[in-house]
Amino acid sequence: MRSGRRLGVDVGTVRIGLAQCDPEALLATPLVTITAGKKPIEEICRIAEEISAIEIIVGLPTSLSGHEGDAASKAREFAHKLHEQTPIPVRLVDERLSTVVATHAMRASRVNSRKARSSIDQAAAVVILQSALDAERGSGKVPGELLR
């Protein structure tokens, strides 16, 4: 397992949730939610540099069958723009059901999803990042698709 902080990104049309992991890459935690319409690429690059991220993990929302629809195309386009703006490696990872998992976890904690939408975006980023960390730890292989 590679050590070093990573930044997890849950791309949405209105909000973008961010999560980070510890330097040992054991645990993902919520970081911040940013507005999608106000130069999010620059903000994410700044945050990634600020936390000394070794990698940026962007969730790729595919269907249960593995098909990539409109949301996946938008996430892929966003990740490529991010890749063009930072020297930090950007990786796309499957994020099937991350928002659903995050929403269920928030409800189980009795958090009102309407009042805590930005928290759900961060929680989805945590699910994306933690899944990537667990996959790498379990298989010894770096998950997802590295953008070049």
Torsion sign (Cα): 40, 45, 49, 54: positive
Taking residues 37-54, what's their average pLDDT? 96
Give the tens place of pLDDT for each residue, 89-140: 999 998 875 555 545 555 565 655 555 566 888 988 999 999 999 999 999 9
Find residue 35's DSSP bridge partners.
15
Class of domain 6-146: alpha beta
pTM of this structure: 0.88
The residue count of the chain comes to 148
Percent of the chain with pLDDT over 90: 71
Give residue 120's pLDDT. Answer: 84
Q: DSSP states of 71-95 as a string?
A: HHHHHHHHHHHHHHH-SS-EEEEE-
User: Hey, what are 65's tokens?
Assistant: 């069958």
